[in-house]
Amino acid sequence: MKHNLRLLFLFSFLVLFAQTSFAQTKEISGTVTSKTDNIPLPGVTVIIEGTTVGTETDFDGKYTLKANVGDVLVYSYLGMKSLKKTVANQTTINVALEDDADQLDEVVITAFGIKREAKKLGYLVQEVNSEDLTVAADPNMATALRGKIAGVEIRSGATGPGSSTNITIRGISSLSGSNQPLIVIDGVVVSNTNIGQGDFAGGFDFGDGFSNINPDDIERISVLKSGNATALYGYRGANGVILITTKSGKSGKVKVDVSSAASFDNVLVSPKFQNQYGQGRFDTATNTLEYNIIDGGSWGPRLDGTQRERFDGVGTAEYSANPGDFKDFYSTGTTFTNSVIVSQAKNGTDFKLSYGNLSNESIQKGATLNRHNFGLKAGIDVNEKIRVSGKIDYTRQKGENRPELTDGQSNTIKALSTKPRNISNSLLANNYLKADGTPNNWAGSFTMNPYYATNTLLNEDETNRYIGLISLDIDLLEGLKLNARASQDLSFTNAFIYREKGAFDIAPNGKLDEFNTTSKTTSYDLLLNYNTELSDDFSLTAAFGLNQINSSFKSIVTVGETFVQDNFFSFNNFKSKNINPSLVRSKSNSVFGSATFGYKNYAFLEVTARNDWSSTLPIDDASFFYPSVGGSVVLSDAIPSLVDNNFLSYLKLRAGYAKTGNATDPYNLQNTYLISSSEYNNQLFYFFGVNEEGAGAGASLRNPNLVAEISTNVEFGFDTRFFNDRLTFNATYYNIDTKNQILELSLPPSSGANQQVINAGLINNKGFELGLSAEVIKSKDFNWTTNVNFSKNISKIEELAQGIEVQVRERQFNDVVQVGGKLGDPLWSLFGSTYERDTNGNIMYDSNGLPMVGGIDKIGSTNPDALANLRNTFTYKNFSLSVLLDAKFGGDVFSFSDMVRATSGTDEITLEGREYFTGGNGILVPDGAVIDGTLDPDVAARGVNPQEYWGRLGQISERWVQDASFVKLRELSISYNFPNTVLDKLNISRLSLSYFGRNLAILHKNTANFDPETGFNNSFSGVEYFGFPSTSSHGIKLNVSF
């Protein structure tokens, strides 16, 4: 009986306790603001102490969560002091957070993903967060970075979201090697290679490793520019490092983020064509303009609307102008992107599952790109001391009919630039095929009806890419942590180029090219980190690590020529087949360490050292060592009068010295023989060189005595903040010497070889970078922030090989233009034919009144004088407006397109002097011109035949060099964040709708016919060669979070 009473009493007590507990569970809501200015704070973490239950404040600083009476709510926010509140009988808890001086020094990502307080570094790390990266919904990760980091120049092929890009940080430091930075994603060293891009003869841009990353999956990007910052990455980080941190699970609840965007692209810049004269030529025998379909230029009679023989000799067509035909050829391109991210962090585990999709139709009909990105990132705390984490990303990308570049026969820009002005787009579109199925072209060699290029499958490619990481973290002792990880970037690309019979002059009997490539980068890291307080005044942070990287690039190029059965693309259907396999491998082992000593948390000294062993260098010289030392002093903490100073909130001085190295490409050490592709006298033979029959260039000699390139970096600067951190300013000066350049030295034919790999040369880069950020207006309802970056780099070739004045990097096959370096000048310089000038520098004219052609010399410099960008962001209640201006000052560009349009008579500038053909004046010789000999009296009176004049200028490359400066409206975004009243009804945590624009306008440029950023090859710049037109984009974007 007593036992039953006890059970009944216990049961009643539990019921009463449960009822009391449930009665005390309540919904708590409130607003979190800044105590300094009473502005709502979005993203404040609110967690019940001792649990993982919590939430975050929304855009208006508001939050809601369920808690029990007696629970302690912990409010935390970066840069502010955490605050605790105990739940009592209230249902509303509003709090105001104070600034925390100890946290105001931002935490940044440094080498190997280590988080460091910025004030402890002897260098500046610039970062771009997810919001700034994706504000304009740019689907290409690299181009999304443009205009957002000081001292970083990013050039793109402009053929769409899948274009490859060139990124240079603080100028060009290598004459022959890559100048691209190292890309690291969540600690994974990734490859940024590509299988093809434009060269002077043509080609297709199949993209690179950076272009197929999903920008919506990125949390932030950190850019390491100085030698001190990159030293721990060894020679692979010699050109700087871009650290990418992807999103991960954070919230206690499952969080779903959905983003969708649609953009519409149109041609930004069109060439200026003349619309008064059509196809034909000037007949000097009859002194009349004659129309004929044999001459491909637009030097014929005035367009009069009459019926004349059609361009292909079939019937007649109206002989009329076609203004606007360039832009009309291209359609409105579309890009649709969708992204879904599911994440959570709870009870020692976290995960993030992501999917992204891109679907792009180019402005050029038939050119498409589709991309799928899948990602899984997860971690688990095995116990209090051990954590295991990892990730796997998979990307599948498929492209069709990527536009051909430069001098390629299917390049539509080339076709539209040279097309006689009387031939309409509709005429070409309706008659783009002949009866035999070959393209119906107008007169001329290497021409192609552009509608054949858009209506025929000419190429396709597919890339499958896997990025994997497994990481183990162990707390060995107090302050001592170990991290071990293994990672791999594995990519498979398969591409086909199709050339039907009779379509291409270079393959009249048909051709099929297949490229199969496998790129693999495998990395192993072991890292020990130690952090301790040596005394009340002194602290120590140290790291020691081992690293091994294995890289390989395998390719098989299969070529079939001459169809058996016309236009059936199978290698078994070609009479001639050739297979060219290639395997390039390299390996490096490294040991490195760093130690940072702190004094009273305001003075810091960091020392690093790394030694690399590279398989690409000779065994005796495979090891190279480079140290660095850097320091910083926070004067605003060190000088008592500056502590808690409202005017000067923060002042830090920093300086650094570092040596970094760079190895050579694989297989540059030993000369090898090749095996002939065909039998001679029933046997194969070995040959030494490039050409089997010895009629062309000789061998490229290797060098068994190569040593590593070495760069010496010196930099110093300061960081400061004013008016309670509302105004920040930083400045950096740097000086970089890179010696032992690994060059391919051209040799005279008498040597029997074409070139030799040597160590020679010294390049100096020096300059400064400035950054300014200001909260111009900060109030409850309206805020205005501005960010400015400015940088100037001066490069100079201090030394080249003995007796060498110019080192050529690339050259057009007729030497119309060359890109290279000249002793004493910056990189890169442009070389080509010049005007003949007298001793006073005046242009000389011959007796026929034509400018005289001089020799090959320097005609320009591609190196910009300065880079600058300005971003303004305005917010009013739930609305926000962001505007990004981007500018480049100085630097030159050579336009092959302008030259050809002029010599073809299609350019607007060729209208001058056409009265010559009807008895009037041509292009007059300037008054006071320097004449070589005696000027022809008729020329003195009437001037020069304009066709002859522009034909002569087509032989003078100097004429076609232009200033590449620009100011662009790079990005514009207008967003609206829906208020809580709407969110609560929809049961979602965030909803925003945005309009965005990219490259909306070029506010200033000096190139009349093209965007000065247009390029075709990421290994050099400064040449525009029938460049694919850049686009302006308008779109809308929707973000939803659950």
Q: Give pLDDT tens digits for 316-337.
A: 999 999 999 999 999 999 999 9
The three-state secondary structure class of 43 is coil
The pLDDT of residue 486 is above 90: yes
Mean pLDDT of 16-43: 70
| Per-residue model confidence (pLDDT) at position 555 | 94
| Per-residue model confidence (pLDDT) at position 158 | 66
Q: How far is CA 543 from the centre of its chain?
A: 32
The pLDDT of residue 1015 is above 70: yes
- Angle between helix 896-904 and helix 946-953 axes, rounded to 10 deg: 160
Q: How far is CA 636 from the centre of its chain?
A: 38
Mean pLDDT of the chain: 90
Out of 35-49, 204-218, 970-984, which region has the weakest mean confidence (pLDDT)?
35-49
- Sorted by where each starts, the structural domains of the chain and their CATH numbers stand as 22-97 (2.60.40.10), 189-250+332-410+458-668+703-709+717-828+863-891+964-1041 (2.40.170.20)
Strands 844-845 and 930-931: parallel
DSSP class per residue in 759-781: E--EEEEEEEEEEEEEEEEE-SS
Among candidate residues 163, 165, 213, 191, the one with its CA nearest the CA of residue 519: 191
Please count the other Cβ atoms lying within 10 Å of the Cβ belonging to residue 150: 23
| Helical residues (DSSP H) of 351-458, grouped into ranges | 412-418, 425-430, 450-455
The three-state secondary structure class of 451 is helix
CB 606 within 8 A of CB 539: no
143 to 53, 223, 238, 434, 910: CA distances (angstroms): 39, 15, 22, 41, 36
| Per-residue model confidence (pLDDT) at position 21 | 41
Q: Which tens digits make up the pLDDT trace of 811-838?
A: 887 889 999 889 999 988 999 999 999 9
Identify how many contiguous H helices and E strands the chain contains and give both numbers: 13, 56
- pLDDT band, very low/low/confident/very high, at 94 (cuts 50, 70, 90): very high
d(CA 606, CA 363): 52
| Per-residue model confidence (pLDDT) at position 767 | 96
Residue 952 dihedral angles phi and psi, to the nearest 5°: -70, -45
Out of 175-184, 377-386, 951-960, which region has the weakest mean confidence (pLDDT)?
175-184
Using a 10 angstrom Cβ sphere, with 0-12 exposed, 13-18 middle and 19 or more buried, the burial of residue 316 is exposed
Mean pLDDT of 562-571: 96
| Per-residue model confidence (pLDDT) at position 36 | 72
The secondary structure of residue 78, as a DSSP letter, is T
- pLDDT band, very low/low/confident/very high, at 105 (cuts 50, 70, 90): low
| Per-residue model confidence (pLDDT) at position 102 | 53
**pTM of the model as a whole:** 0.88
Tokens of 778: 């900060």
d(CA 505, CA 122): 59
CB 413 within 8 A of CB 1027: yes
In sequence order, what are the residues at sequence separation of 6 or more whose Cβ sits closer than 8 angstroms to the Cβ of residue 744? 176, 700, 755, 756, 757
The pLDDT of residue 679 is above 80: no
| Per-residue model confidence (pLDDT) at position 42 | 80
CB 689 within 8 A of CB 697: yes
Q: How far is CA 896 from the centre of its chain?
A: 24
| Per-residue model confidence (pLDDT) at position 364 | 96
CB 296 within 8 A of CB 443: yes
141 to 5, 165, 220, 397: CA distances (angstroms): 72, 10, 12, 15
Mean pLDDT of 524-551: 94
d(CA 439, CA 453): 9
Q: Which tens digits make up the pLDDT trace of 922-977?
A: 999 999 999 999 999 999 999 999 999 999 999 999 999 999 999 999 999 999 99
| Per-residue model confidence (pLDDT) at position 10 | 42
Q: b or e along 409-427 (b: 16 or more beta carbons within 10 Å of the residue's beta carbon)? A: bbbbbbbbbbbbbbbbbeb
| Per-residue model confidence (pLDDT) at position 347 | 83
Residue whose entry in the numeric block shows the structure tokens 């060359």? 818
* Type of residue found at 268: L
- pLDDT band, very low/low/confident/very high, at 240 (cuts 50, 70, 90): very high
The residue that leads in pLDDT, 365 or 801, is 365
| Per-residue model confidence (pLDDT) at position 955 | 97
Out of 185-194, 580-589, 714-723, 842-851, which region has the weakest mean confidence (pLDDT)?
185-194
Mean pLDDT of 849-866: 95
Q: Which tens digits make up the pLDDT trace of 331-361?
A: 999 999 999 999 998 888 999 999 999 999 9
The residue that leads in pLDDT, 806 or 905, is 905
| Per-residue model confidence (pLDDT) at position 199 | 81
Out of 376-380, 881-885, 977-981, which region has the weakest mean confidence (pLDDT)?
977-981
Tokens of 589: 């082992």
| Per-residue model confidence (pLDDT) at position 945 | 96
| Per-residue model confidence (pLDDT) at position 260 | 97
The residue that leads in pLDDT, 40 or 862, is 862
| Per-residue model confidence (pLDDT) at position 747 | 75
DSSP class per residue in 551-596: EEEEEEEEEEEEESSTT---GGGEEEEEEEEEEEEEEEEEEEEEEE
The three-state secondary structure class of 439 is strand
- pLDDT band, very low/low/confident/very high, at 861 (cuts 50, 70, 90): very high
Q: Which tens digits make up the pLDDT trace of 782-799?
A: 999 999 999 999 999 999
The pLDDT of residue 383 is above 80: yes
| Per-residue model confidence (pLDDT) at position 336 | 97
- pLDDT band, very low/low/confident/very high, at 677 (cuts 50, 70, 90): low
d(CA 277, CA 304): 9
| Per-residue model confidence (pLDDT) at position 195 | 75
Mean pLDDT of 295-317: 95
- pLDDT band, very low/low/confident/very high, at 668 (cuts 50, 70, 90): confident
| Per-residue model confidence (pLDDT) at position 200 | 82
The secondary structure of residue 165, as a DSSP letter, is E
| Per-residue model confidence (pLDDT) at position 801 | 87
Q: How far is CA 951 from the centre of its chain?
A: 37
| Per-residue model confidence (pLDDT) at position 696 | 46
- The CA-CA-CA angle for residues 746, 748, 749, to 5°, reads 120
Among candidate residues 274, 283, 330, the one with its CA nearest the CA of residue 302: 274
The pLDDT of residue 14 is above 50: no
User: How much of the chain, in percent, has pLDDT values that exceed 90?
Assistant: 68
Strands 333-346 and 255-267: antiparallel
The pLDDT of residue 299 is above 90: yes
Q: In what order do the strands lie in the sheet with 80-86?
A: 54-56, 45-48, 72-77, 80-86
